[in-house]
Chains A and B, each alone.
Chain A
Amino acid sequence: MELTKLKVGESARVSQILTDNDAKTRFAELGLVEGVEVLIVRFAPLGDPLEIKVRDVYLAIRVSDAKKIMVEKA
Chain B
Amino acid sequence: MNKKIALIGNPNSGKTTLFNVLTGTYQKTGNWSGVTTEKKEGQYLLDKSVTIIDLPGLYSLTARSKDERAVIDFFKSQRPDVIVNVVDGTNLTRNLLLTTYLLELKIPVVIAVNFCDQLKKQGAVLDAEKMENVLSAPIVTISALKKTNVDKLMDIALSLDRVPYFDLKDNKSTRDRYAFLDKSVPLFFYKKNEKGKTFTQKIDDLLLGKKTGLPIFIVVMLMVYFVSIRLGGVFGGMIENAFNSAQSGVMAYFTAKKVPNWITSLSCEAVIGGIGTVLSFLPQILILFALLSILEQSGYCARTSFLLDRIFRSIGLSGKSFIPMMLGCGCTVSGIMATRTIERESERVMTIYLTPFIPCGAKTAVFGWFASLLFNGSAFVATAMYFLGILCVCTFGRILKRLKIFRDKSAPFILEIPTLKIPHVKDVWFVLKDKVKDFLTKAGLIVFVFSVILWALRNLGFSGYTYGDVKKSFLYIFGNKLKYIFYPLGFASWETAVAVLSGIFAKEAVIETLTLLSKTPATLFSSPFSALSFTAFILLSPPCIASISMASSELKSKKLTFYMLIFHLFTAYTVSLAINLLGILINACNRLILPVIIVIIIVVTLVLAIKRLKKCKKDCANCSRGEKCKRTEKHFTT
Which A residues contact B (CB, under 8 angstroms)? Answer: 19-20, 22-23, 25-31, 33-36, 41-49, 51, 55-62, 65
Contact = CB atoms under 8 A, between A and B. Distances in A.
Given A23-B411, A25-B174, A28-B175, A60 B306 contact: yes
B209 interface: yes
A31 B416 contact: no
B265 interface: no
Given A45-B210, A49-B309, A60 B414 contact: yes
Contacts of A62: 309, 313, 412-413
Contacts, number: 114
A28 to B, nearest CB: 4
14 contacts: A19-B412, A20-B410, A28-B174, A29-B174, A30-B414, A31-B94, A42-B208, A44-B213, A45-B213, A51-B417, A56-B93, A57-B91, A58-B416, A62-B412
A26 B415 CA distance: 11
Nearest to A60: B415
Contacts of B201: 41
Contacts of A26: 64, 343, 411-412, 414
Contacts of A47: 310
Given A42-B208, A62-B309, A25 B412 contact: no
A30 B309 contact: no
Given A49-B415, A51-B306, A58-B417, 15 more contacts: A19-B412, A28-B174, A28-B178, A29-B97, A30-B416, A31-B93, A35-B182, A42-B208, A42-B209, A42-B210, A45-B210, A56-B91, A57-B94, A59-B415, A60-B416
Question: Which 6 A-B residue pairs are closest in the complex by CB-CB distance?
Answer: A46-B310, A28-B174, A29-B59, A58-B417, A45-B213, A60-B415
Interface in B571-626: none
A20 B408 CA distance: 14
A65 B625 CA distance: 32
Interface in B392-433: 410-417
Contacts of B174: 25, 28-29, 33
A25 B417 contact: no
Interface in B306-320: 306-307, 309-311, 313, 319
B60 to A, nearest CB: 5
Given A23-B412, A45-B307, A46-B311, A29 B209 contact: no
**Tier of interface size on chain B:** 35 or more
Contact of B306 (A22, A35, A44): A44
B416 A49 contact: no
B90 interface: yes
A48 B310 contact: yes
A38 B179 CA distance: 16
Contact of A25 (B62, B205, B306): B62
A58 B313 CA distance: 21
A30 B412 CA distance: 12
B211 interface: yes
Interface string B47-61: 000000000000110
Contacts of A30: 59, 94, 414, 416
Residue of B60, B412, B415 with most partner-chain A CB within 10 A: B412
A49 B319 contact: yes
A55 B94 contact: yes
A47 B410 CA distance: 23
Contacts of B205: 42
B175 A61 contact: no
A34 B173 CA distance: 13
Interface in B275-334: 305-307, 309-311, 313, 319
Interface string B167-207: 00000001100110010000000000000000001001100
A58 B625 CA distance: 45
B414 A44 contact: no
Contacts of B91: 55-57
Contacts of B214: 45-46
A25 B208 CA distance: 28
Contacts of A29: 59-60, 62, 64, 97, 174
Nearest to A46: B310
Contacts of A48: 309-310
B175 A34 contact: yes
Contact of B209 (A27, A45, A55, A59): A45
A63 B135 CA distance: 37
B88 to A, nearest CB: 9
